[in-house]
Chains A and B, each alone.
Chain A
Amino acid sequence: MAERVAIVGVGQTVTKSKRPDVSTAETCAEVVEAALADAGMTMKDIDAVVTGSMEIADGYHNPDKWIIPELGAVGKSGFELQNVGTTGGVVACAGFALAASGVFETVLCVSWQRMDESVGAFGRGGGGLNEYWTRQYPMSPITNFARRTFAYMTNSGCKEEHLAMVRVKQDQCAMKNPHAQLKLGLTVEKVLESPVLAWPMRYLHMCPSSAGAAAIIVCPEKKARKVSKKPVWVEDYFTAHQGGGVTMAEDPSASTLKHACRTIYKRRGITNPKKEIQAWEVYEPSSSAELRWIEEVGLCEDYTAWKLFEQGKVGIDKEYPFNPSGGVTATNPIGATPIIRVIEVALQLRGDAGEHQIPGKIDRGLATAYGGQGENVVMLLRRSL
């Protein structure tokens, strides 16, 4: 990047399944107020606003037009981005680019989803597929993950019990996160008793329908040092997309995450991600996704992640502190989810994560965004520069 940029303020909702008390715009205003307060700023300090949500899930057209004024951002520069599951990821990336461009000093990124106001993304998920070749399949996020997980189990030897162990770990983390939605006090037995949606995906394996929002404020280096005591630096980012690729992959469980991580590690000279990256917040919309993503980000060999769960090595205070926030299986306001990942990494780097803070020195973190057809956005953040 031409100029180094940092995240100086963050805000996220306490995500719930329904928010009858506030409108979509008010949900966004909640997080913008929180982010501004966190940065010690007011809306006057903001130069540009980048927004985004998954329109097809909420059933509206260009919502930025009516949300921007309700945030008090009339007169600001900006635009709306949208990229299904990775929407929040590209919104954050655009924020980083705008702050590094030398044109703007303070950029606000806002993303949201109000799935309680629509029929929901699950039913519409298949609409994003190619109308000639892949839309004929009943391909919703659930069946998509059933297919991926079945392939994973066949290739790796992972059993249903291991999937349940992942879900229990996610739940234990979510219980410690004040912003998480599902806090269920699960056990392996409870997960295995929940009804099958599309085998091997059970009810408790899938992420919930959520209403929530998230916002971050990004500044170039000079401004960031002036306004923030704990700036979180953006080291690098990469978006790897492959729309239309659902049926093309040799291994259906694989995504573009591996390619995206390899690209970014090579650029930043990272050879041992397990040692060099301490905080991980990876977009896993189901428990089984977490297994595959642990492998794809380079923490262990392909098809071996389930063994880490069997050995009890994954958890906030364990060898692999993967997704300490409880992850996406516990909380998924789709558009906002990737920004929540960025925020959770930033909180870990700042040491502000509270009960779900990873112990020890945290200097570098990785946040990702995932889209249904295997798209990924990878963002690398740092405490020190």
Chain B
Amino acid sequence: MAQRVGIVAVAQTKYEEKPSQHVGELMYEVSRDVMKQTGLEFKSDGTGIDMTLAAAYDQFSGPAGLYMFLGYIVGAWQREDERVTSDGSLAVYYGALNILSGHCDTVLLVSYLKESPIPKNQVECMGLDQVYQRRIGLDFVSAAGLQAMKYIYKCGITPEQLAKVVVKARKNAKNNPFAFCCDDITVKDVLRSAMLCDPIRVQEAKPTPVDGACAMILASEEKAKKLTDKPIWITGIGSCYDHHELGYRDLAECESLSTAAKRAYKMAGIANPLKELDVAEISEHFAYQELMCYEGLGLCGKGEGGKFIDSGKTEMGGELPVNPSGGVLSGLPVCVAGMQRVAECVLQLRGEAKKRQVKGARKALAHGTDGPAGQQHCVIILEK
């Protein structure tokens, strides 16, 4: 990148079911928080924050366009304002590109979603193509089931290896005050839990419903240095689409993730991610996805995801701790998940992650995914 883009402030709510809070209150809480941290406001003369960029899924609000509130709630009257309806990581991706284009200097990003008012599966069924896949009643859970089956069969992944991912996530989440699910679950407990969609067990899937919001402020290099003593720089970004039809893909491979990762690594000048990165926050909506991510991100060889979790390199204190926050398996709303991954990396690099801090973290990777069986991926490299 010719110029660096800085993240100058991040904020998040606690993730849980929030029946008594309107989504607008969640937005207000996190956006006010980041505005207070930087002292930036939307002034009536047009100065202050240049743009608001929301990330939310429309259909989760029922018939309404819940994404229409943001400007109104944060006081961004008649400002630049856009809305990404893909995973939150792609809003960070677009926010960074917008600043690189020189159009805006400061962007307020807010991702918000309440899963509690509407069944997640019902919405995700509408996310499948209208001609072939939707008609057979496929949703993202059953698509993931098909992918998990193919992957564990092809790569010889054991049920214990999958359960270890859950145990690690829940254990790490105990150090994260914002997490929804944190306990000392054991491999045995995971394997004893009910089957959700063969071979995925209930404990191996992201808990739902979860509500919450996450916000951050991005700024151009020059502005970021003025706004904070501890700017975190976005030095690499990459995204990639895969085929939608499950039958067109080799489901045991994650080509679109490796392409997205290669794009981000190239931009950030990373040759050996396992050695060069200090911490990674990835989006594993299901336990098997974490193992596939290890492979896709180039942390281990193809088909070695199972061995890699066994090696303990991704535990806290390992060579590259993955998801010290507990990750998506500890309970994050969809869409918010991607932006929250970036926010966690920022906390790590600033040294503000408290009990879940990875010591001396200087370079981090955040990953977001969207679509059935990881169709679309986004990788963001952050540096101190």
Contact = CB atoms under 8 A, between A and B. Distances in A.
Interface of A: 1-3, 23-25, 49, 52, 55-56, 59-62, 64-66, 68-69, 73-84, 90, 93-94, 96-103, 117, 124, 127-131, 135, 237-245, 256, 259-260, 263, 373, 375
B142 interface: no
A124 B267 CA distance: 43
7 contacts: A55-B58, A61-B57, A81-B82, A100-B101, A103-B267, A128-B64, A241-B71
Given A60-B127, A94-B98, 7 more contacts: A75-B240, A75-B256, A97-B103, A102-B101, A124-B63, A127-B65, A239-B82
B80 interface: yes
B244 A65 contact: yes
A296 B101 CA distance: 29
A43 to B, nearest CB: 12
Given A55-B59, A97-B98, A65 B64 contact: no
B58 A56 contact: yes
A124 B63 CA distance: 7
Nearest to B82: A90
A65 B103 contact: no
Given A241-B79, A256-B78, A69 B244 contact: yes
B46 interface: yes
A75 B242 CA distance: 6
Given A60-B130, A65-B375, A243-B71, A77 B65 contact: no
Contacts of B372: 65
A97 B78 contact: no
A80 B59 contact: no
B15 interface: no
Interface residues of B, number: 65
A68 B241 contact: yes
B238 interface: yes
A81 B85 contact: yes
Contacts of B98: 94, 97, 101
Given A74-B242, A75-B240, A64 B65 contact: no
Name the residue among B58, B102, B263, B371 with the largest chain A CB count within 10 angstroms.
B58
Interface string B69-103: 11110001111111111100010011001101111
A56 B65 contact: yes
Given A79-B239, A82-B83, A373-B68, A69 B101 contact: no
A217 B344 CA distance: 36
A372 B241 CA distance: 32
B78 A241 contact: yes
Interface string B152-182: 0000000000000000000000000000000
Contacts of A239: 79-82
A48 B62 CA distance: 31
A128 B68 contact: yes
A74 B86 contact: no
Nearest to B64: A127
Given A98-B97, A127-B63, A61 B123 contact: yes
Contacts of A66: 128-130, 133, 244
Contact of A242 (B71, B131, B237, B370): B71
A31 B93 CA distance: 26
A263 B2 CA distance: 29
A361 to B, nearest CB: 29
A222 to B, nearest CB: 14
B376 interface: yes
Contacts of B237: 103
Nearest to B51: A239
B1 interface: yes
B126 interface: yes
Nearest to B65: A128
A74 B245 CA distance: 11
Contacts of A240: 78-81
A243 B101 contact: no
B57 A62 contact: yes
Nearest to A77: B239
Contacts of B59: 55-56, 60-61
A65 B376 CA distance: 8
Interface string B44-71: 0010000000000111001111011111
B47 to A, nearest CB: 12
A97 B371 CA distance: 24
B94 A130 contact: no
Contacts of A117: 130
A79 B62 contact: no
A25 B134 CA distance: 15
A38 to B, nearest CB: 23
A243 B2 CA distance: 35
Given A62-B371, A65-B372, A98-B97, A243 B241 contact: no
A385 B338 CA distance: 40
A69 B78 CA distance: 36
A84 B70 CA distance: 14
B77 to A, nearest CB: 6
A56 B63 contact: yes
B57 A243 contact: no
B325 interface: no
B126 A59 contact: yes
B314 interface: no
Given A1-B103, A68-B244, A79 B94 contact: yes
Contacts of B131: 23
Contacts of B376: 65
Nearest to A60: B126
Interface in B98-121: 98, 100-103
A371 B93 CA distance: 25
Contacts of B238: 77
A343 B46 CA distance: 30
B101 A96 contact: yes
B267 to A, nearest CB: 8
Name the residue among B77, B101, B375 with the largest chain A CB count within 10 angstroms.
B101
Contacts of B102: 1-3, 100
Nearest to B86: A79
Contact of B86 (A1, A25, A64, A101): A64
A129 B67 CA distance: 10
B72 A244 contact: yes
B78 A65 contact: no
Interface in B223-275: 237-245, 248, 256, 259-260, 263, 267
Given A56-B63, A103-B1, A124-B63, A76 B241 contact: yes
A259 B78 CA distance: 8
A242 B81 CA distance: 9
A102 B103 CA distance: 13
B221 interface: no
A61 B335 CA distance: 12
Contact of A244 (B1, B68, B127, B240): B68
A93 to B, nearest CB: 7
